[in-house]
Homo-oligomer: A and B are copies of this chain.
Amino acid sequence: MTDRLVLANQKIVLKETTLSRLAAVSTATVSLILLKSGIRACHISGAMPLVIEGCEFVAEAFTLRFIPMREDLSVPEVLGDPEYAQRKLIEEVGEGHALVIDARGVTDVGTIGGILGIRLTDRGVKAIVSDGAMRDVRDLREGTLPVYCTGPAAPASLHAHYSSDYQNPISCGNTAVIPGDIVMGDQDGVILIPRAMANDVADAAFEQERLERFVRKLIEKDGRPALGTYPPNEAVQLEYQEWLAAGEPE
């Protein structure tokens, strides 16, 4: 039975511009818009890019959940079981997805390694995100898939985990992630956007970055003080309207 939060997300249609607008802004901007929209709980704590260069992504969350290792469950044989969640999902996750992994913050084992990384790239996945570690990071660093995690660890997930299921609500980095929610990442880490808010957040973030380009020009080139300029007071707001009316030069 599909989770009702998942069902609810499936009914929400994204506007055509939503993902591209999000791709044009930063996670810092989006998190500020989320704050203004009443959402503080949006940061995937602990997930940092293995490689900074080219780490940016926006995608829909496809979730995987691990529960703690138990010696009777976490046996090497499960890796060959076609129903084992960590393996089965690899052939189900697809284009436009970010694989978001609830590793319960465990930094001592890697949940995805080099070979699965290759297959996930082949499957069209846009990023891997976890609040735990990754293994074979030499290979992952050489690949093109953005990988966000707490860092490297050689042991396989079975050393400390058992993958119980996928495409259910999870916790990742102390943030709730429902399949279908939007996740995006850049040098500042990964941010979660509730799917129901994604359209509005994308538009507001797009506008916010336009304003910040103007503010930055005032501060960086004109040497304006931060107070009054960022955020802009009424006078600066007027200047901004004029600048907009004149057409953003850049």
Contact = CB atoms under 8 A, between A and B. Distances in A.
A58 interface: no
A188 to B, nearest CB: 4
A76 interface: yes
Q: How many copies does the complex hold?
A: 6
A83 B186 contact: no
Nearest to A69: B41
A107 B194 contact: no
A235 interface: no
B187 A138 contact: yes
Contact of A91 (B30, B197, B227): B227
Given A28-B114, A68-B171, A115-B219, 19 more contacts: A3-B164, A28-B135, A35-B158, A35-B159, A38-B72, A40-B159, A42-B155, A43-B155, A72-B194, A80-B231, A82-B227, A90-B225, A108-B174, A115-B226, A115-B230, A118-B216, A122-B223, A138-B188, A154-B191
A245 interface: no
A154 B115 contact: no
A15 B119 CA distance: 37
A28 B118 contact: no
A35 to B, nearest CB: 6
A16 interface: no
Interface in A83-128: 83, 87-88, 90-91, 104, 107-110, 113-116, 118-119, 122
Contacts of A80: 231, 233
Contacts of A45: 107-108
A175 interface: yes
A160 interface: yes
B43 A159 contact: yes
A14 interface: no
A202 interface: no
Nearest to A156: B32
Contacts of A116: 226, 230
A43 B154 contact: yes
